[in-house]
Chain A
Amino acid sequence: MKTLVYIDHFKGEVQPASWEALGVAKNWGTVQAVVLGASGKDLVKMAYEYGADEVFFCDDATLDDYYADVFVSTLSALAAAQSPDAILLPTTTRGRELAALLAVDLNTGVLADVTGLELEGSQIVATRPIYEGKLFEKVVCHTRPQIATLRPRAFPRPVRDESRSGTPIPLEQKGESAVTVEGYAVSESSVSLTDAGVIVSGGRGVTNLAGVDEATAARKGFELIGELATLLGGAVGASRAVVDAGYIPYAHQVGQTGKTVAPDLYIACGISGAIQHISGIRGAKLVVAINKDPEAPIFKVARYGVIGDLFKVLPALTEAFRKKLGK
Chain B
Amino acid sequence: MGQARLVSLQEVTLKIVTCIKQVPDAEAKINLENGKVSWGDSPLVINPFDEYAVEAALQQKDKHGATVLAICIGPESAKEALKHALAMGADEAILISDPTLENLDAQGAAQVLAAAIRKIGDADMVIFGRQSIDSGTGLTPAQTARRLGWPLLSLAGSIELQNGQVSVERVIEEGRQIVRAALPAVLSVVQSIGEPRYPSFMGIRKASRAVIPTWTLADLGISAPEPVLEQRELLAPPSREQPCEFIEGETVEEIAEKLVEKILAEKVL
B228 at interface, CB cutoff 8 A: yes
B269 touches A265 (CB 8 A): yes
Residue of A nearest to B25 (CB): A275
- The docked-state distance in angstroms from the alpha carbon of A39 to that of B267 is 37
Distance between A265 CB and nearest chain B CB, rounded to angstroms: 5
Which residues of A in the span 281-308 have a Cβ within 8 Å of any Cβ on B? Answer: 282, 285-286, 288-289, 294, 299-308
Distance between B180 CB and nearest chain A CB, rounded to angstroms: 5
A275 touches B27 (CB 8 A): yes
B222 at interface, CB cutoff 8 A: no
The answer to whether residues A68 and B152 also contact, given A135-B235, A303-B245 and a CB cut-off of 8 A, is: yes
Residue of B nearest to A249 (CB): B175
CB pairs A–B below 8 angstroms (16 shown): A68-B142, A96-B138, A100-B143, A130-B136, A131-B133, A132-B26, A134-B30, A136-B236, A138-B233, A185-B176, A257-B48, A285-B268, A304-B246, A316-B255, A319-B256, A324-B260
Which residues of A in the span 1-30 have a Cβ within 8 Å of any Cβ on B? Answer: 10, 13, 15
A185 touches B134 (CB 8 A): no
Residue of A nearest to B249 (CB): A306
B174 touches A179 (CB 8 A): no
B175 touches A320 (CB 8 A): no
- Among A40-48, A54-62, A104-112, A202-210, the stretch that binds chain B is A104-112
Chain B positions near chain A (C-beta within 8 angstroms): 24, 26-27, 29-30, 32, 37, 48-49, 105-107, 110, 133-143, 145-147, 150-155, 167, 169-182, 190-192, 228-237, 240, 242, 244-247, 252-253, 255-257, 259-264, 266, 268-269
Which residues of A in the span 126-159 have a Cβ within 8 Å of any Cβ on B? Answer: 127, 129-143
- The docked-state distance in angstroms from the alpha carbon of A133 to that of B24 is 14
B233 touches A104 (CB 8 A): no
The answer to whether residues A105 and B133 also contact, given A140-B230, A256-B26 and a CB cut-off of 8 A, is: no
The answer to whether residues A324 and B264 also contact, given A113-B137, A134-B237, A192-B173 and a CB cut-off of 8 A, is: yes
B residues in contact with A109, CB < 8 Å: 105, 107, 228-229
A residues in contact with B140, CB < 8 Å: 100
Number of interface residues of A (CB under 8 A): 91
A182 touches B178 (CB 8 A): yes
A186 at interface, CB cutoff 8 A: yes
The listed residue (A65, A68, A185, A257) touching B191 by CB distance below 8 A is: A257
The answer to whether residues A104 and B143 also contact, given A313-B256, A316-B252 and a CB cut-off of 8 A, is: yes
A213 at interface, CB cutoff 8 A: no
The listed residue (B29, B106, B228, B259) touching A100 by CB distance below 8 A is: B106
A179 touches B264 (CB 8 A): no
A184 touches B175 (CB 8 A): yes
Name the 8 nearest CB pairs between A and B, nearest first. Answer: A187-B175, A109-B228, A316-B256, A185-B176, A100-B142, A264-B268, A320-B256, A100-B139
B190 touches A130 (CB 8 A): no
B256 touches A317 (CB 8 A): yes
B232 touches A138 (CB 8 A): yes
Distance between A88 CB and nearest chain B CB, rounded to angstroms: 15
Contact with B along A66-88 (1 / 0, CB 8 A): 10110010000000000000000
B256 touches A135 (CB 8 A): no
Residue of A nearest to B260 (CB): A320
The answer to whether residues A179 and B133 also contact, given A101-B146, A110-B106 and a CB cut-off of 8 A, is: no
B residues in contact with A282, CB < 8 Å: 237
Interface majority SS (helix, strand, loop, mixed), chain A:
mixed
B151 touches A69 (CB 8 A): yes
B residues in contact with A185, CB < 8 Å: 169, 175-178
A residues in contact with B141, CB < 8 Å: 100
The answer to whether residues A317 and B259 also contact, given A178-B182, A180-B180, A264-B269 and a CB cut-off of 8 A, is: yes
Distance between A55 CB and nearest chain B CB, rounded to angstroms: 23
Distance between B163 CB and nearest chain A CB, rounded to angstroms: 14
B residues in contact with A279, CB < 8 Å: 26
Distance between B131 CB and nearest chain A CB, rounded to angstroms: 9
A residues in contact with B260, CB < 8 Å: 317, 320-321, 324
Distance between A206 CB and nearest chain B CB, rounded to angstroms: 17
Residue of B nearest to A72 (CB): B146
- The docked-state distance in angstroms from the alpha carbon of A196 to that of B177 is 23
A212 at interface, CB cutoff 8 A: no
A301 touches B240 (CB 8 A): yes
The answer to whether residues A313 and B255 also contact, given A100-B106, A142-B228 and a CB cut-off of 8 A, is: yes
B177 touches A184 (CB 8 A): yes
Residue of B nearest to A140 (CB): B230
The listed residue (B152, B172, B235, B266) touching A93 by CB distance below 8 A is: B172
- The docked-state distance in angstroms from the alpha carbon of A13 to that of B174 is 9
A125 at interface, CB cutoff 8 A: yes
The answer to whether residues A142 and B173 also contact, given A97-B142, A304-B263, A313-B252 and a CB cut-off of 8 A, is: no
B residues in contact with A307, CB < 8 Å: 246
